[in-house]
Amino acid sequence: MNEKYYTVGELAKIAQVTAKTLHFYEKKGLLVPSLVSESNYRYYSFNDIEKLQLILALKLFGFSLNDIKYLMKSKFATLQESLISQLELINSKIESLNHIKSALVSIKDKEPKINDLITIFKVIKMNNQTNTWLRGNYSEEALTNLDNRNFTMDDQIEVTNKWNQLFADARNAMNNNADESIKLQLKQRYNDLIYSFTQGNSELQEGLSQVWSRIDEAPQEMKNFYSENKDVMEYINS
């Protein structure tokens, strides 16, 4: 076997990390050695070194280990693809920080309502992994359309509150066996909210459909949201 392999100690020295760090990354499934001997010695390939470099670079930019693990699962075919995806994640991180900044600005000079605060906390809680997964379901044209809208935090709070109110009203109607006219009103509100997002754009409509068709692959936060509201959405659309 001509390919050169490196022991834990050698890789730790090359990357200037501790052996404990390498063992931790292996335990987390971030960096698994290419070879493990019968004596349980770990050996890393040059490809493993490149993976470690990417992990350390993303850590330097402030990404969590969960975000990094999500990226590593993409199995990049080339270093160029790796760098492009790294840039996309950095942009996602910047976008997330801008959301937090907008949230703080939006409450800095006014007395916010408790519902606004709750919504802000929910928006901030949306992590980069969830945002990256969502954006991965949309075409470049759809993403450009969304990015050009320049949604503010106040816009996002308003839309989120409308969805929350719709789901609350629908659950109340469902539990009280509301008549058909109420269901039709709920359906219209649902369609209006969907249209406010897609604005009739076929690329956005297709991306939204893909989100729900792939919900089982979504980060846990998205799956929790779907499971909590699946019965209500089915009721509205029945």
Instruction: Check if the beta carbon of residue 152 is closer than 8 Å to that of residue 159.
Output: no
Instruction: Check if the beta carbon of residue 44 is closer than 8 Å to that of residue 81.
Output: no
Taking residues 181-197, what's their average pLDDT? 91
Same domain, 147 and 46: no
Same domain, 217 and 133: yes
Q: What is the domain extent for residue 163?
A: 91-236
User: CATH code at 27?
Assistant: 1.10.1660.10
Within a domain: residue 135? yes
- What's the rounded Cα separation, in Å, for the pair 208 and 54? 31
Picking from 90, 19, 94, the residue whose alpha carbon sits closest to that of residue 54 is 90
pLDDT surpassing 70 at residue 186: yes
Same domain, 135 and 193: yes
Q: What is the mean pLDDT of the chain?
A: 78
**Residue 77 pLDDT grade (very low, low, confident, very high; cuts 50, 70, 90):** very low
Instruction: Specify which residues 44 forms β-bridges with.
Output: 6
Within a domain: residue 80? no
Domains: count for the chain:
2
- What's the rounded Cα separation, in Å, for the pair 135 and 204? 11
- Note if the pTM is more than 0.75: no
State the pLDDT at residue 113: 57
Within a domain: residue 77? no
Same domain, 138 and 37: no
Within a domain: residue 73? no
Same domain, 149 and 229: yes
Same domain, 105 and 43: no
Picking from 233, 128, 158, 161, the residue whose alpha carbon sits closest to that of residue 191 is 233
Within a domain: residue 202? yes
State the pLDDT at residue 43: 93
Same domain, 105 and 164: yes
Taking residues 50-66, what's their average pLDDT? 79
Same domain, 120 and 222: yes
DSSP states of 115-143 as a string? HHHHHHHHHHHS-HHHHHHHHTTS-HHHH
